[in-house]
Amino acid sequence: MKTRRIAALPVAALSLAGIVLTGPAPVAHAASSGSFTGLNGKCLDLPNGNTANGTPVQIWDCNGGGNQNWSIEGDQIKVLGKCLDANANGTADGTKVQVWDCNGTGAQRWTYNAGTRDVVNYNANKCLDVAGWNSGNGTNTQLWTCSGGANQKWNFNGSAQQGNNLVSEAQFNQMFPNRNAFYSYAGFVEAVKAFPQFGGTGSDETRKQEVAAFLANVNHETGGLVYIKEINTANYPHYCQWDSAGGCPAGQDAYYGRGPLQLSWNYNYRDAGNAIGVDLLHNPWLVEQNPAIAWKVALWFWHTSKGAVWNGPTPHDVMVNGRGFGETVRIINGIECGGAHPDQVQSRVSSYQRFAQILGTSTGGNLYC
């Protein structure tokens, strides 16, 4: 569970709304195209560019070929016009991963989480795995129970991300007219490149709703992108849990809320840093010094946090599956819900409504938590 405290921001500095809808089933929209690198830097590869149905997917030295250029399109992952597929819709450990004509079945529905670097098959709820931890050229991939091992971790090196394409710089400035210069649009764009599913899953309406929901929560947490770090310095020593893995090497009071979603606690800095490749456990100050890192940490939290429910959905999951903006609030700061802090919830909801209007989309239902 990833818990965090929010900087005590004045309600007057916060803004607006939230909404989410139960829209149509996801449709393919190219979020990004690029390579997947995994165990020992090897690339996910289609042998010799063979597009015959049933061709196994393997790893190979990266060479920039079209047979290593994958696209994430909604919940499908494609190469050379074929879809990544679990053989015979299998769910058992060891199921062969192959390519097949795209058909929309559960065998071809995947999610890539840039925060955890897992590629998970929806139907099996299992990870794309390099068989036997063998990094030799030609080693096949398979489905296997997710373990967190390096043979199940994939970096997606993509371009042409959707999330920032859905928000122009003019719209960004309209949303945050008084923002601190630290929270740059360029930093946001750079961070989104690491999270291809952000604003890249589902219909146009759903994708815009996710972006609006994320930015609405950001707006509330930071007083309109004004605050870079938590205001109440008296809270700073609270966010160190010495008995968690790694301890607090940066000091007792070093893990206070920072960035667009005011990340706090030493274990969150450790996990976020591991995910984006930066040692934030020893240097958490990078989140208040580097705009791209600040945005990446917030997007990592959006794609990994499950609030108080260990096996619950993430805010990303909530938005792309039409569960409602209110559920994102419950995950991010559940203490506001259930009537405990109605003004705080209304602040988020109002921001979401305004941002959805700016992006030209509807809001949907289930706005409150």
pLDDT given for residue 3 in this prediction: 40
Residue of 225, 62, 212, 192 whose CA lies nearest to 115:
192
pLDDT band of 163, cuts 50, 70, 90: low
Where in the chain do CATH 2.80.10.50 domains reside?
31-157
- Encode pLDDT of 239-273 as tens digits: 999 987 789 999 999 999 999 999 999 999 999 99
Maximum Cα interatomic distance, the chain, rounded to a whole number of Å? 63
Q: How far apart are CA 41 and CA 199, in angstroms?
A: 27
pTM above 0.75, yes or no: no
pLDDT given for residue 16 in this prediction: 24
- Encode pLDDT of 279-322 as tens digits: 999 999 999 999 999 999 999 999 988 876 656 789 999 999 99
Which residues are part of the catalytic machinery? 221
CA torsion 139-145-148-153 (nearest 10°) is 40
Where in the chain do CATH 1.10.530.10 domains reside?
11-23+162-359
Most confident of 65-74, 151-160, 250-259, 359-368: 250-259
Core vs surface per residue 217-241: b (16+ CB within 10 A) or e:
bbbbbbbbbbbbbbbeeebbeebbb
Asked which of 94-103, 253-262, 357-366 is least confident by mean pLDDT, the reply is: 357-366
Residue count of the chain: 369
Question: Would strands 97-100 and 110-113 be described as parallel, antiparallel, or unpaired?
Answer: unpaired
- Encode pLDDT of 172-227 as tens digits: 999 999 999 999 999 998 888 888 778 877 788 998 999 999 999 999 999 999 99
Assess whether pLDDT exceeds 80 at residue 161. no
- Encode pLDDT of 4-51 as tens digits: 433 333 332 222 222 222 222 222 333 467 889 999 999 999 999 999
With 0-12 CB in 10 A as exposed, 13-18 as middle and 19+ as buried, what is 181?
Answer: exposed
CATH second-level architecture of 11-23+162-359?
Orthogonal Bundle (1.10)
Alpha-carbon distance values, 169 to 52, 184, 346 (Å): 43, 10, 26
Q: Which CATH code is given to the segment(s) 31-157?
A: 2.80.10.50
pLDDT given for residue 113 in this prediction: 74
